[in-house]
Amino acid sequence: MTQATRIASHFQQFFGRPPTVIARAPGRVEFIGNHTDYNGGSVLGAGIDRHVWVAVSRGLPGQFRFCSDQQSEVQSLPAGTSVKQTGALSWLNYPLGVWLGLEKFGLPQPADFDLLVYSDLPAGAGLSSSAALELATGLAFLKLAGAETISPQTLAELGRHAENNFVGVPCGVLDQGTIAFARRDHLVHIDCSGPVFSATPMPAGLRLWVFNSLTKHALIDGMYAQRHAECQQAAQALGVNLLATLTPAEFHARRAALPEVLAKRAEHIIEEHARVGKVVCALAAGNSAEVGSLLTASHRSSQHLFGNSTPELDFLVDRLTAIPGVLGARLTGGGFGGAVLALTGTEFNDAAAQAVARAYTEKFGRAPGILPLQVADGAQLLTS
């Protein structure tokens, strides 16, 4: 039985009819480019082989109905509601934000709908389950409303609009852009000053592993917004609109004009933007060791300058980078908990990963999640 068949069966159980459309979107790893997106910099990301599926059909007149694989009850809201949900219903804000955004983008909206969400993507791990939900929902709603096509860039912008303007997270374009443009065996390179999207081949023989610290990764509770504000304050003090427009040399010539906290935040962003360019060059040259070194340098910058790492993430990076076969490791995503990405050769295997997990468990009293990943294609419709 395929995953789409299972989801259709669940939909039938909840709503008494088969879905009209099923769409899916992958999670993403931030390969490098930590918090550079909303600062006008460049990032590299990749779609992964863990997904969020959204199944929809026309629903009861005047109602939006929602359910997920994580709950046993259908939640019903008045059709067209623009009221932000709280508590256990907060996850509804992602599809609601997408539905509300369709009108602003001049795109058709289904008047009513039944919606089922299924995921094998761990939430809160920094793998962008929220953006995956937004983009899968966008594709499903548009197909249900009779739209023929949508460009990956518009889909990414729709998802980001929902996140910024309804959910309330001031994210950049990394998450939605990577998921919209993801391509198997390639990294997505985003010049966020455009934005401009391109594909960077992933060299053969490299592997990605994610180690989920199982610590809180909550962007909405203020830490992400605080870093966003600090970056804006630093840019203003330096006389630029966006931090990434400064070169490292230009920044260091002006660094003394900033309070120390803002100087650290700015240094991280400007040096991180430069690291992304170096990684692209190293990938093109087949210099995997240099790529790995730059990933680890990115983590140290997050740890010491940007302040969005945690003891758990630092421990994982320290243990991983001491193991032969691990080229580099860094936190992935917004930080403040979540996951570490490790870039490895083929000699790093499950036994080595389990050794890291045992050390983590001994230190922190809980086992980390381990995800060996393949680089996967982006958001797509599965049925119509």
Same domain, 93 and 109: yes
**333: alpha, beta or left, given left = phi > 0 and alpha = psi -120 to 50?**
left
Same domain, 47 and 87: yes
Residue 270's CATH number? 3.30.70.890
Kindly state the DSSP code that residue 41 receives in the 8-state scheme: -
pTM: 0.90
Same domain, 329 and 349: yes
Residue 58's CATH number? 3.30.230.10
Task: Identify the domain containing residue 73 by its residue range.
Answer: 3-200+376-383
The Cα–Cα gap between 217 and 3 comes to 28
Q: Indicate the average pLDDT of the chain.
A: 94
Same domain, 138 and 245: no
DSSP character string of 212-242? E--S---STTTHHHHHHHHHHHHHHHHT-SS
pLDDT value of position 124: 67
pLDDT value of position 75: 95
Same domain, 210 and 325: yes
Same domain, 207 and 180: no
Residue written as token pair 């990394």? 174
Same domain, 186 and 210: no
Same domain, 233 and 164: no
User: What is the Cα gyration radius of the chain?
Assistant: 21
pLDDT tens-digit profile of 57-113?
A: 999 999 999 999 888 789 999 999 999 999 989 999 999 999 999 999 999 999 999
Same domain, 215 and 310: yes
**Inter-residue contact 273 to 194 (CB < 8 Å):** no
- Could you give the residue numbers annotated as active site? 175
pLDDT tens-digit profile of 174-185?
A: 899 999 999 999
| Tokens (6 digits) for 35 | 């918090």
> Could you tell me which residues come within 8 angstroms of residue 343 by beta carbon, excluding any fewer than 6 positions away?
206, 207, 208, 288, 291, 292, 295, 326, 327, 328, 329
Regions of the chain with pLDDT less than 50: 220, 384
- The total number of structural domains in the chain stands at 2
Same domain, 162 and 28: yes
Would you give the distance in Å from CA 27 to the centre of its chain?
A: 6
Same domain, 273 and 344: yes
pLDDT value of position 284: 95
Same domain, 218 and 329: yes
